[in-house]
A and B are shown apart, each in its own frame.
Chain A
């Protein structure tokens, strides 16, 4: 039990983060693509495709952060201080992004400032999420606490490295790809046409960033090199990059063939494969290179108490989330809302 619980919670948190990245990924992506749009009508149309969902999407971020605290308080207590500035700036950017959904309508006709807030907030939030990812992957300095735990021992700018900047750019590009393929699926007319034109370039750029991270981490960190390239691991793990290449090819062909759903699902699959790849690289560490899932776990009683509720509530949450997406299904045309 004591061995399986942290594992189960690792999967739950991992699932929540993956849900967040995919769901908020495409609506942040729409914000990232905002500056490349010409008319207010098109911006309305783009925003309308996510307006009923964005709040639910962002709740996964609260579950990711809150869940990390509940299940792995010792990791939460190290990661948050270590990545203090990118986390805070991300939260502030999300404020601008989130209120823009409402403010943009009530500010009519002076929407301009909230267009900038929406685009800027989305770009900065995505970039900070990349910095957080990079800062975590490259490892965090720790020292012992009075209560036999570990706490952050580094400086306020430890996260700032060329590597984390690359991760930041990669996440911005990846979210933009998700946003473009979402718009390709959910809109028609000029917005869909432009998104379809933007997507291949974004796909290539995101793959470039993924490749860079995938080469950089094993070369810089021996542990990750051994994980991927030692025998027999390489025999099990080679399908991961191959599958990624195949999915990327599928997205490319789907875009060329004018398919609507396939490129979006393929982009999600790319994100999930990237996520699995990172999990393989860092396993069993939650805070590389010192704290494992088991080291960081909360008391079993706490993990069981919330775990029981999670097992019951997760399917319900997924159920009504799907229901709302189904209610607001179909394309959003220019000048048309859901009313």
Chain B
């Protein structure tokens, strides 16, 4: 087969970044959940919060490691596969990535050591603080990386000289037009996804009638979070969509499979966008509804795909179906949150196995929604890698197709082996469940070295496993 290097480079980047994003998204959410649990523990002293924090830290450690190693790959892929991109926009995007490393990566990585291995070695306040620092670090990391990504969608604050972008206004670069929306949308997605995972784990235990107290704590916290955050995500997502309509109308036209700009926009429920015939086959649609959503007028008009030359239209299948899948999962989460909250209020949540069973299977859906959302927005930017500034085809490295083939094959092989093992181990940790044989250290004590005071119980367990993270 004879693929062009640009296609292979795109495939490789799509593959590595899709694998990667799952882990940071989960790390952002889990680290915040662990910090919350530890803060609740320091406030109330309730044993179950500490037990749950230890349990989730084990899972967090595995997921974080996978996020770190798959992320290092990305910071080098800009150069190995997208060297022209690196050269043309490096002056603008480079410093944002640089700030991510300096303000977030070092913070997370260093305090992670205390968080994972400091349970009894440092005073509780320092351990709780470290967990909070890690949670904040992951969010700061999200801030910079989404700023850089948003700039590729809505570049601002720069000028082009001799084909190279030069910064003129850093505030406008960092807070470029789509950044606030994208940042809010992604961070909420990370927290929501994690809440769904927590709910699924809690419901799994409820169904198995194991770890009753811990399971109920997890389910209550998760249901509360989902009931608030899932509807919020709908509004943020809507605002993000309106922002995209303003700055990247071709993307919205592709997401809606809206061909004719002279007509109102129907809400397409299902169909098969046919790029060659310039129509959507087998379409089932609600007339005018998308006009109402996008323009707040029943008869509102937006640009259709036919308003853009064929070489400036994004690919349709990924944008159209990616968007639909994301929205469908979002709606399911809203329903889950509301039904869960209603059951909780009625006091029947612990008996409602009809709710617990589907909820226990829901854990992958948040990740699916995140991936489909990213596929929608990233392919929706095509044919540009930096919207209106640099075409994807002009951004690629002068590397032979053979070399990219080789690396792509290696990536697929290694990622499938390593990360499926990771998921398997996380699942094993979940099956093993929270460890009730260890008790929390006193909240306001001295540093607890192993074999001193209340640390003794912890110390004993540790000795058989040497230094298992988050015992």
Contact = CB atoms under 8 A, between A and B. Distances in A.
A252 interface: no
B109 A59 contact: yes
Give the interface SS of chain A, mostly helix, strand, loop or mixed: helix
Interface of B: 58, 61-62, 64-66, 68-73, 75-76, 78-80, 83-84, 86-88, 90-92, 94-95, 97-103, 105-114, 116-122, 162-164, 166-168, 170, 397-400, 402-403, 406-407, 410-411, 414, 418, 421-422, 425, 428-429, 450, 458-459, 461-463, 465-469, 471
A156 interface: yes
Q: Return the 9 tightest CB-CB contacts between A and B, nearest first.
A: A337-B467, A80-B79, A73-B90, A52-B113, A339-B462, A70-B94, A147-B163, A77-B83, A98-B69
Residue of B69, B76, B429, B463 with highest tally of chain A CB at under 10 A? B76
Given A147-B87, A152-B83, A102 B65 contact: yes
Given A59-B109, A95-B73, A337-B117, 19 more contacts: A51-B117, A51-B467, A55-B68, A55-B113, A58-B72, A70-B90, A73-B91, A76-B83, A89-B410, A103-B65, A106-B429, A149-B164, A151-B87, A152-B399, A156-B403, A299-B164, A302-B91, A336-B463, A339-B467
A41 B411 CA distance: 33
A161 B265 CA distance: 61
Contact of B88 (A68, A147, A314, A324): A147
B117 A338 contact: yes
A68 B465 CA distance: 41
A255 interface: no
Given A48-B467, A105-B469, A66 B422 contact: no
B110 A145 contact: no
Interface of A: 41, 44-45, 47-48, 51-53, 55-56, 58-59, 61-63, 65-71, 73-74, 76-81, 84-85, 87-89, 91-92, 94-96, 98-99, 101-103, 105-108, 145-149, 151-153, 155-156, 298-299, 301-302, 305-306, 309-310, 313-314, 317, 320-321, 324, 327-328, 335-339
Contacts of B406: 85
B398 to A, nearest CB: 5
Contact of A339 (B80, B107, B114, B459): B459
A78 B87 CA distance: 9
Contacts of B166: 299, 301
Contacts of A310: 98, 102
Nearest to B104: A59
B87 A77 contact: yes
A80 B82 CA distance: 9
A51 B468 CA distance: 10
A324 B101 CA distance: 18
Residue of A44, A148, A298 with highest tally of chain B CB at under 10 A? A298
B149 to A, nearest CB: 15
B276 to A, nearest CB: 32
Given A62-B72, A77-B79, A79-B79, A92 B163 contact: no
Contacts of B58: 106
A81 B398 contact: yes
Given A66-B101, A81-B83, A339-B459, A88 B468 contact: no
A44 B467 contact: yes
B466 A301 contact: no
Given A61-B72, A317-B102, A301 B91 contact: yes
Nearest to B169: A301
A88 B118 contact: no
Contacts of B418: 95-96, 99
A183 to B, nearest CB: 15
A80 B404 CA distance: 13
